[in-house]
Amino acid sequence: MACYDRRDLGLLLLRLGTGGVLAAHGAQKLLGWFGGGGIEGTGRFMESVGYRPGKASAMAAGLSEAGGGLLLAMGLATPAAGAAAAGAMAGAAAVHAPSGFFARSGGYEYAASLGLASAGLAITGPGRLSVDHALGHTVNRGWMVPAAFATVAAATSVVLGARMRRLRRKKEGEQEALFEE
């Protein structure tokens, strides 16, 4: 009989909680569940905050959140799952950053918390109460952690950089329009 310790139980709770919230959040984007906008509504929102094309951005965010969340909850492919979810939350935090830190004022507190928990799980690993452990950690190797974070960081940098350029051009265009009046 396997013996599990407090660390394993703690990681299980953290994985289930963080993964469950992320999966539900992603299901709002992908399927319109839990009051979400689905791909259409989320796509329109994504366009409005500078992520283009909107539908593709909604799909990428929804898959990263729902897929990453489900994998984290199961403790499967933990480095990739945690990195993907953290990348999606970095994108969400960028949208909320102008409103400050606290969620009450529309800030990035919630996205940062989910992103940091996801990143922490990716780095720490899922514990023994996980599918990764049951599979002998075939998709949870040490080298996979930096590889997953490097890949996600590169993709996130490209996406956030493109968004920032769009927002800057839009602001400059609005300022030019004011001067022309």
Indicate whether 134 belongs to any domain: yes
Residue 172: band (very low, low, confident or very high) from pLDDT cuts 50, 70, 90: confident
The residue type found at 83 is A
- Tally of residues, the chain: 181
pLDDT digit string, tens, across residues 75-108? 999 999 999 999 999 999 999 999 999 999 999 9
Per-residue model confidence (pLDDT) at position 58: 97
Q: Count of domains in the chain?
A: 1
In a domain, 22, yes or no: yes
Domain annotation covers residue 43: yes
Domain contains 15: yes
Domain of residue 163 covers 9-180
Domain-located, residue 54: yes
User: How would you classify residue 36: left for phi > 0, otherwise alpha for psi between -120 and 50, otherwise beta?
Assistant: beta
d(CA 21, CA 4): 25
**Cis amide prior to 79 (ω within 30 degrees):** no
Tell me, yes or no, whether 2 lies in a domain.
no
Quick check: is 108 in a domain? yes
Q: How confident is the model at residue 178 (pLDDT cuts 50, 70, 90)?
A: low
Nearest one of 122, 138, 123, 127 to 4, comparing CA atoms: 127
pLDDT category of residue 179 using cuts at 50, 70 and 90 = low
**What's the CA dihedral at 127, 24, 17, 50 to 10 degrees?**
90
4 occurs within a structural domain: no
> pTM surpassing 0.95?
no
